[in-house]
Amino acid sequence: MERNKFKGSIVAIVTPFKAGKVDEKSYKRLIAFHLKEGTEGIVPCGTTGESATLSFQEHERVIELTIEEVKGRIPVIAGTGSNSTAEAIMLTKHAAEAGADASLQVSPYYNRPTQKGLYAHFKAIAEAVDIPIILYNIASRTGVNIEPETVAKLARDCPNIIGIKEASGSLEQMSRIKALCPQDFLLISGDDSLTLPILSIGGVGVISVVANIVPRDVREMVSCFERGELKKAQQIHYKLLPLIKAMFIETNPIPVKTAMGLLGLCSPELRLPLCPMSEENLEKLKKALKEYGLLK
Q: Is 292 designated active site? A: no
Backbone angles phi, psi at 130, to 5 degrees: -115, 10
The answer for residues whose C-beta is within 8 angstroms of residue 106's C-beta and 6 or more apart is 47, 79, 81, 82, 136, 138, 141, 142
Burial of 107 (0-12, 13-18, 19+ CB in 10 A): buried
Residue 281 CA neighbour count, 13 Å, CB half: 16
Backbone angles phi, psi at 161, to 5 degrees: -90, 105
* Set 7, 27, 119, 136: catalytic member: 136
Residue 267 CA neighbour count, 13 Å, CB half: 16
**First-residue to last-residue Cα distance in the chain:** 47
Residue 154 CA neighbour count, 13 Å, CB half: 34
Q: Nearest-5° angle of CA 64, CA 74, CA 41?
A: 85
Q: Is 110 designated active site? A: no
CA distance 296 to 289: 9
* Set 27, 119, 153, 165: catalytic member: 165
Positive or negative CA dihedral for 1, 153, 173, 47?
Answer: positive
Chain centroid offset of residue 249 CA: 18
Active site residue ranges: 136, 165
